[in-house]
Copies of this chain bind each other. A is one copy, B any other.
Amino acid sequence: MDRTPPPPDARVAGVEPAALGLRERKKLRTQKDLQAAALRLFAEHGFDHVSTDDIAAAAEVSKTTFYRYFDSKEDVLLGDKAEALCHMRDALAGRPDTEPPFEALRGAVKEVVGHFALDREASGLRQRLMRETPSAMARNLERQREWETLVADFVRPRLAPGANRDLLARVYAANTMATMRATIEHWLDSDGADVSELLDEALAAFAVSDDRRPAPAPA
């Protein structure tokens, strides 16, 4: 519930290894070990034929420690989505208030997906395991729903005030995340396509033009 986020500063594993104290380096390493062990075991035996004890044993720690780094067995499969969330938040926050919100959102989503496509191998394995594992898929969807509230909070003040402002903000946020997710799933089933191009197509086909947007809210 009030667990301290495993890496107090969510950061890419492996940067500035010497700048951190021994303690932090060890923590980073055990987290990485747990993740690697889990992914390997999942790929080898399947998600639900691997217990958290197995993962902990493979990473040479105790089950307790595993749960100190990950909230659930599913979370270790989802990976560094928290980091991606920060990226998106930053990307949104960096946009000027006057920019059309829909355009800003499209840019932020493309950025996140691009970051997603960097380690294509690991991402693909994760997604493949996820769609074979209902509980992991469910957990992933729940996370994406949290993103929606972030996006909705970004869009809402940029829409014209009115009775349906909140509705439109929610719906637009939900649609944006849905587009992103569906595009990624399609990408996994198609071989060798470029995610960014697919995302462009999807966004272009279903994007709401900023022209149709209500006038920006008065500051």
A interface list, Cβ under 8 A from B = 134-135, 137-139, 141-142, 145, 148, 164, 166-168, 170-175, 177-179, 181-183, 185-186, 189-190, 198, 201-202, 205-206, 208
Cα distance A174–B176 when bound, in Å? Answer: 10
Main secondary structure of the interface of A (DSSP, over half): helix
- Least Cβ–Cβ distance between A168 and chain B, in angstroms: 6
Tell whether, in the assembled complex, residue A170 and residue B185 are in contact, meaning their CB atoms are under 8 Å apart.
Answer: yes
Bound-state CA distance A205–B159 (Å) is 13
Establish whether residues B142 and A134, one from each chain, have CB atoms under 8 Å apart when the complex forms: yes
- Select the residue from A142, A177, A179 with max chain B CB neighbours within 10 A: A142
Nearest B residue (CB) for A149: B185
Give Cα A195 to B139, complex, Å: 28
Residues of B within 8 A of A186 (CB): 166-167, 170-171
Query: CA separation between A148 and B173, bound complex, in Å?
Result: 17
Q: B208–A164 contact, CB under 8 A?
A: no
- Whether A171 lies near B179 (C-beta < 8 A) is yes
Q: How far is the CA of A170 from the CA of B148 in the complex (A)?
A: 19
B178 close to A175 (CB less than 8 A): yes
Write out the residue numbers on chain B whose beta carbons fall within 8 Å of the beta carbon of A167: 182-183, 186, 190, 198, 201-202
CA distance A164 to B141 in the complex (A): 24
Q: How far is the CA of A190 from the CA of B134 in the complex (A)?
A: 32
Please indicate the chain B residues that have their CB under 8 angstroms from the CB of A182 in the complex: 148, 167, 170-171, 173-175
B contact residues around A175 at 8 Å (CB) = 175, 178-179, 182, 206
Q: Give every chain B residue within 8 A of A190 (Cβ-Cβ).
A: 166-167
Residues of chain B within 8 A (CB-CB) of A173 are 182
The smallest beta-carbon distance between A163 and chain B, in angstroms, is 9
| Minimum Cβ distance to chain B for residue A21 (Å) | 34
Q: CA A75 – CA B128 in complex, angstroms?
A: 25
Chain B residue numbers with a CB within 8 Å of A166 are: 186, 189-190
> Are B179 and A174 in contact, with the CB atoms below 8 A?
yes
